[in-house]
Structure 1
Amino acid sequence: MRENVRRVRRPATGGAPAFDLTYVRSGPRGATPVLVIPGGPGLASVLPYRGLRRWAARGGLDLIMVEHRGVGRSRNDLAGDPLPPEAMRITEVLDDLAAVLDAEGVDRAVIVGSSYGSYLAMAFGARHPERVHAMLLDSALQSAHDIDLERACLRELFWDADDDMARGVKRLVAAGVSERIVLDIVRAAYELGGTDLVHPLVRHRPGFAWRALGAYATRDAEIARFPGIYEFDLVGTIAFRELGYGGTPDGHPLDPARTYLPLAPRYPAFVGEPYDLIEAVRSFDWPLVVLSGDRDLRTPSAIAERVVAAAPDATLVRIHNGHSALDTHPMALLNAVRRLVRGQQDRLPGDEPALDRLPRKGLSAAFPGLLLHIAHLDALLRRRVLRR
């Protein structure tokens, strides 16, 4: 599918230079376009989601995706230099989205956000409510203070439980494996493949599957950058300054506040969130769908339930999935979006079994099966070594 990559000039503001913001629009033009905001911060839109836009177009969706400022084709200013920290503000990102809608002549859109993108979606609703026709939140991220919900969920599952999985995690920590790395890896494994993937990882000493997940899930003092795909280095300023990624550990085991701590010296300290989204959703007067995975440990279901309880016209949809259906079960997300575009969101709870049965497509969808094969290979090699 040929795509027309477009640009809109964004002006200099607050000491930040002007730059060209890149976006792409695909599919048949509809009365109500869908603006999809991926997670991160750091995920690009143009390259990683070509497949998503192709599938969406086949289903009749008019999709707009914006390359986040500081990422990919929106990375540099007009002189070709990377955008400075002064350009990295959530409010500016929200105005970027509105500028793209203006450029496309779109008065109102269905706003779809996943993970960090769901935070932007809700913040967009708070700043530009007149531009929202409806909204879908996938793995809703609502407040920096929700880390306490995340802690409780992780510790109940991996530390406090009286089962083989928790005992395996404790054995790894007792054997000297970094507690931060153990958490990052078992959390990712559980979200991707559930207990079937976690058990072989924690049963023995770390092997090939462990190292593969480590490359995928862990953070160290070096900033991972995959140009055009995932670029955290510039937008990390938003993560730390406005979303509190450099959290304070509480002194207890398996603390998710430690995940990004190795990067904290590189970025500004947390100054506060630009919006109170817990309060803001109470005034959302448009149809709202919240998609929640039952294995999502980064944005636990309690957040989704709170959003739905507060918003006037909200529908909760539970699926068997981990974090971010946009990346791990895009067909479920697209089908939910189609229901919302057609005004049929009230049917979505009854669609849950059908959404679970949809084929899982994309690289992230194939990753769990590959990891499970590698984990079984690790066990086989270990048995052969022990026999010698």
Structure 2
Amino acid sequence: MIKGAALRTRVAAMPGVRRLRRPVGDGRSFDLHYVRAGPPGDCPLLIIPGGPGLASVLPYHHLRRDAAARGLDVVMVEHRGVGLSRTDDDGADLPFSALTVEQVVDDLAAVLDDCGVRRAVVYGSSYGTYLAQGLGVRHPGRVQSMVLDSPMLSAHDDHAQRTALRELYLDGPLAGLIESGVVAAEETGQVLQVVHEFGGPRQVDRLLRLMASGRGDRVWRWLIGLGELETAEIKRFVMEFDLVGVIAFAELGFAPKPDGRPLDVNLYFGDLAAAYPPFRGEPFDLTNALRRFHWPVAVLSGDHDIRTPRAIAQRVAALAPDGVLVPLAGTGHSALDTHRLAALTAARIVVGGRHRELPRLAPRLADLPRRGPGKVLSSLLTARLALGRIVSL
């Protein structure tokens, strides 16, 4: 396995990787990296992945290949504090003071300058939608059009998450499992969110029946681990939450106050929050800002998405003056990661100036072959529920 400096050298040498100097915020500068792929044009597709913590260069190599094959000129920025953009000139991690949403948004604009382009079609996924909308707030002249895939709207999105999950499962068989002590109420939100997003109601039903039979404990524990994996494990140049977690907690309110009821979401963030500054407020009021977005906005929303549920996507699409909602059947959170072909096809339609056609085309997008890491997890979940036992990852 390649580690440390050798892996960094190899990732930095990947095709299309570039760097530019950006301020740390204390008088120093560091190398911010980005990657550009596909036939260059005057208005590229700027893709901003989720997180915070997801890298851009290494994990989205195949996506950029697929995008280039469809004639898309793609730019992706390695988020400051992550991967190739993690350290200062001495190799030390960037300080928390260098990691704010506004600095990240300004990095996006600086990359467009470095590419020599005035505007971009901006595609944000999950946390990336917050950054995409932030770019629209701070640099509106840089946005040609926008795709918001599984959009965030505010630090209070957790209320919609709880509501969506509880409307589905609170009064069903889960209640009896909690009352009898088979499952812990505080774990239910984390587990059922994952299962619903990657398998839908049918797989949730299979899990609950497995638990009722006394044969599901190992599957349940595996699912608990999956929910915590993104934040607890640092996978260099892929997922690095440890530094940019300061954005999650201090600016985006990722550790909401528990309400003490079953199916509460994001409880596992509570233990992590102590290592970061407390929530100080959001950098933007996106609810009001969206009303001033004069460009086309396509909002992608998976039917199985709980992390950014349909109610939020509907509101975002309604607030944007030229917004359209694109519902994707059988799809969970972030089409960019769970339904790559749907995401790229939607992006290409928006690049072509035809975003208003997307609602009509949504069923065809959903039916495209599924690629990406989400398909792997969905298949693994199906296998484990069928077997009723844990197997090695």
TM over 0.5: yes
Q: 2:90 aligns with which of 59, 65, 79?
A: 79
Partner of 1:324: 334
Task: Return the offset for 1:219.
Answer: 6.4
Q: 1:80 to 1:169 in 2, by over 3 A?
A: farther
Structure 1 contact 249–255 (Cα < 8 Å) conserved: yes
Runs (4+) off by over 4 Å: none
Query: Do structure 1's residue 343 and structure 2's residue 349 form an aligned pair?
Result: no
One-letter amino acid matched to 1:189: V
TM-score (norm 2): 0.91
Aligned residues: 374
1:53-64 to 2 correspondences below 5 Å: 53-64=64-75
Tell me the distance in 2 between the aligned counterparts of 1:376 and 1:109: 45
Work out whether 1:365 is the aligned partner of 2:387. Answer: no
For residues 100-148 of structure 1, give each alpha carbon's deviation from its aligned partner in whole angstroms, at most 9, with x where no partner exists. Answer: 1111101000010000000110111001000000000000101011221
Q: Which runs of 5+ in 1 are unaligned?
A: 161-165, 382-388
In structure 2, the residue matched to 1:386 is none
Larger mean CA deviation between 250-259 and 285-294 belongs to 250-259
Partner of 2:255: 246
Q: Are 2:17 and 1:28 aligned?
A: no
- The answer (yes or no) to whether the contact 1:180–1:259 under 8 Å persists in 2 is no
Pick closer, same or farther for the CA change 1:17–1:378 going to 2, 3 Å.
farther
Which of 177, 183, 203 is the matching residue for 1:197? 203
Is 1:300 the counterpart of 2:312? The answer is no
Task: Tell me which of 222, 244, 266 is aligned to 2:275.
Answer: 266
One-letter amino acid matched to 2:92? D
Report deviation, 1:302: 1.0
- 1:208–1:375: 8 Å Cα contact kept in structure 2? no
Q: Which amino acid aligns with 2:337?
A: D
CA distance in 1, matches of 2:269, 2:19: 32
- CA positional deviation for 1:264: 1.3
Q: In 2 relative to 1, CA 255–17 (structure 1 residues): closer, same or farther, beyond 3 Å? A: farther
Match of 1:38 in 2: 49
Deviation at 1:198, TM superposition (A): 1.6
Amino acid at match of 2:338: T
Query: Matches of 2:177 and 2:27 in 1, distance apart?
Result: 49
Picking from 141, 148, 165, the partner of 1:130 is 141
Change (3 A) 1:259 1:65: same
Change (3 A) 1:169 1:295: farther
Instruction: Name the counterpart of 1:313.
Output: 322
Aligned positions of 1:284-299 closer than 5 A: 284-299=293-308
Q: In structure 1, what residue type is equivalent to 2:356?
A: D
Is the contact made by 1:17 and 1:83 (CA closer than 8 Å) also made in structure 2? no
Q: Report what 2:3 is aligned to.
A: none
Alignment check: 8 A CA contact 1:16 1:86 kept: no
Q: Which residue identity is paired with 2:334?
A: S
State whether structure 2 residue 108 is matched by structure 1 residue 97: yes
Distance in 2 separating the partners of 1:126 and 1:212: 41
**In structure 1, distance between residues paired with 2:272 and 2:24:** 28
2:174 to 160, 165, 168: 168
Give SS of 1:6's match. Answer: strand
Alpha-carbon separation, structure 2, partners of 1:380 and 1:112: 37
Deviation string for 1:288-313 (max 9, x for gaps)?
10001111111111111111111111
Query: Contact (CA 8 Å) 1:243, 1:270: kept in 2 or not?
Result: yes
Match of 1:163 in 2: none
Q: Is the 8 A contact 2:187 2:263 kept in 1?
A: no
